[in-house]
Amino acid sequence: MTHMDQQLFYLLSGLFSFLAFASVIGWVLQKTKGPTPVILNLNARIRAWWLMCIISVLAISMGLIGSVFLFGIMSFLALRECITLSPTRRGDHETLFWCFFVILPIQYLLVGIEWYGLFSIFIPVYAFLFIPTRMALAGDTQHFLQRAAKIQWSTMIAIYCISHAPALLILSIDGYEDQNIKLLLFLMIVVQMSDVLQYLFGKLFGKRPLVPKVSPNKTLEGLVGGVCTASVLGSLLWWLTPFAPWQAFLIALVINLVGFAGGLCLSAVKRDRGIKDFGAFIEGHGGMLDRADSLCFAAPVFFHIVRYFYT
């Protein structure tokens, strides 16, 4: 077993051991406390985490192609959730076809063929200009700016931002060849654990809501406790990365804060639309965007930090 295989084995063993422990706790709680709504929701979330982790590990184990396929599906589902938040008009349908079946595949194809130069500007420049042009050609001017902004923003969040996660595998880092998959795992574990820990700290110690009109469950205590603890976790996982322990802590701190911003912004979208979740795709978790909200903001920031300082 190579050194890299050993590291991944230790990491995945710890991850699935943690899920097994959580499953046992959930089973014990349900047997002793009864099937209360909170406990049923907890066990549904644990089952969903098992499924998500197994699918993610299988896809990631296939390397770049598997990761591109996995995150491409995530982007498709996230884009669908964004677009269905508000009604579309007949003049938008062909533009949306281009977004789902042309722009999205091209973006992930650029990741797959490792063409960073075009991958980084394809959506912010070319798709940004194409979308309103295609809408204008449909001849429907009613609420044109609002409709164009919704499609452009959805494309940026659901496709462009998420695509930076598998793009970590195309970075060339001296002394870290063929190990970039561990960067992707570092990103996903740290950001997702930050979400969980913010929730736990908020439930246990939360007293001061940060923005109650946007997300009443997000508290100052939850933010500080969750972000700091997840950042410490990031420093403990430094051995997965090309970072020193203190660098891993600082980078984890940045992506956790940015991830919090992503969750807050998408919570604002849900409040604006009057919905609790973006969907019901994942049992106990809501829709794809409910799980990927932090990742949407954290992935591009993490990608460019690593590219700027380590390649």
pLDDT of residue 283: 55
44, 46, 278, 132 alpha-carbon torsion, rounded to 10°: -150
Tell me the DSSP string of 115-155: -HHHHTTIIIIIIHHHHHHHHHHTT--TTHHHHHHHHHHHH
- Is the whole-model pTM more than 0.85? yes
pLDDT of residue 288: 81
Distance, CA of 167 to CA of 102 (rounded, Å): 19
pLDDT of residue 209: 86
In one-letter notation, the amino acid at residue 151 is I
pLDDT of residue 1: 44
Integer distance in angstroms from the first to the last C-alpha of the chain?
A: 27
Q: State whether the Cα torsion 106-110-112-113 is positive or negative.
A: positive
pLDDT in tens, the chain (311 residues): 455 577 777 777 887 887 888 788 888 878 887 777 767 766 776 777 777 677 777 776 778 888 899 899 999 999 999 898 877 888 899 999 999 999 999 999 999 999 999 999 999 999 999 999 999 999 999 999 999 999 999 999 999 999 999 999 999 999 888 888 889 989 988 998 888 788 778 877 878 888 888 888 788 898 999 999 999 999 999 998 999 999 999 999 999 999 999 999 998 988 888 887 777 666 555 678 887 888 999 999 999 999 999 98
Two tokens at 175?
A: 């002394």
Q: Map out the domains of the chain as residue ranges.
A: 1-61, 63-170, 177-311
pLDDT of residue 18: 79
Tell me the DSSP string of 178-226: T-THHHHHHHHHHHHHHHHHHHHHHHHH--SBSSTTT-TT-BHHHHHHH
Q: Is 172 helix (H, G, I), strand (E, B) or coil?
A: coil
pLDDT of residue 293: 86
